[in-house]
């Protein structure tokens, strides 16, 4: 029943023309992973590969995310429900506009309400700014849990660095962005799965 609602929302998204991105999309990118997941991961927006395949995080950044998930012992298929702030690709991979995020937000909020995750991982600054104080710097607040966010009682939010950023940061030394991200993911797994 609940998941039927999710299917209805997906059908609605397929028809959505609430913002101009419908005109340039090849595919809507609705979600990936498990509807029973306790962790929801929210990225920025679909890129070229995601737009082609209709699935989030399947390009270079997605492959790096997969590697980190494996290292942290988190199953992409069973432990995560993966979405983005937008369901359609912004041209040239530019950042989503406020109007696009507002237009798409109703679908994202409906997904959160149905999936009822215990933890929402805000992957990158764009996802973080959709839920937390816009003045926050992701480099400062990554790896911290935020609770009592208005409208999302009972859900813990945690920002992490975006894998697109990690693609440009190769060091795995202690304290490097890659090292910190792995530690954040291990902490998330511990918080919810053990
Ligand atoms: N980057 C994102 O934020 N989301 C995707 O789905 C792919 C790349």
Residue-wise pLDDT for 165-185, tens only, equals: 999 999 999 999 999 999 999
pLDDT digits (tens, 9 = 90+) for 81-109: 999 999 999 999 999 999 999 999 999 99
Calculate how far, in angstroms, residue 190's C-alpha sits from the geometric centre of ligand 1: 24
The dihedral of CA 122, 125, 131, 137: what is its sign? positive
The residues lining ligand 1, judged by C-beta closer than 6 Å to any ligand atom, are: 43-47, 50, 56-57, 59, 61-62, 84, 164
Q: Coil, helix or strand for 186?
A: helix
d(CA 86, CA 92): 14
* 46, 58, 122, 126, best to mutate for ligand 1 pocket (most atoms within 8 Å of CB): 46
Whole-number pLDDT of residue 138: 98
């Amino acid at each position: 029943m609940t998941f039927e609602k999710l299917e209805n929302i997906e059908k609605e998204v397929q028809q959505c023309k609430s913002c101009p991105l419908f005109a340039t999309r090849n595919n809507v990118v609705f979600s990936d992973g498990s509807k029973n997941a306790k962790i929801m991961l929210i990225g920025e927006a679909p890129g070229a590969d995601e737009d082609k395949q209709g699935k989030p995080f399947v390009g270079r950044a997605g492959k790096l995310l997969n590697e980190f998930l494996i290292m942290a012992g988190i199953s992409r298929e069973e432990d995560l429900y993966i979405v983005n702030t937008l369901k359609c690709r912004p041209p040239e991979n530019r950042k989503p506009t406020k109007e696009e995020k507002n237009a798409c937000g109703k679908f994202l909020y409906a997904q959160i309400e149905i999936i009822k995750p215990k933890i929402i991982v805000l992957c990158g600054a764009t996802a973080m700014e959709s839920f937390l104080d816009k003045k926050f710097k992701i480099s400062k607040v990554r790896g911290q849990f935020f609770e009592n966010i208005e409208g999302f009682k009972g859900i813990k939010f945690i920002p992490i660095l975006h894998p697109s950023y990690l693609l440009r940061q190769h060091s795995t030394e202690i304290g490097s962005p890659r090292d910190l991200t792995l530690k954040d993911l291990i902490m998330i797994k511990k918080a919810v799965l053990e």
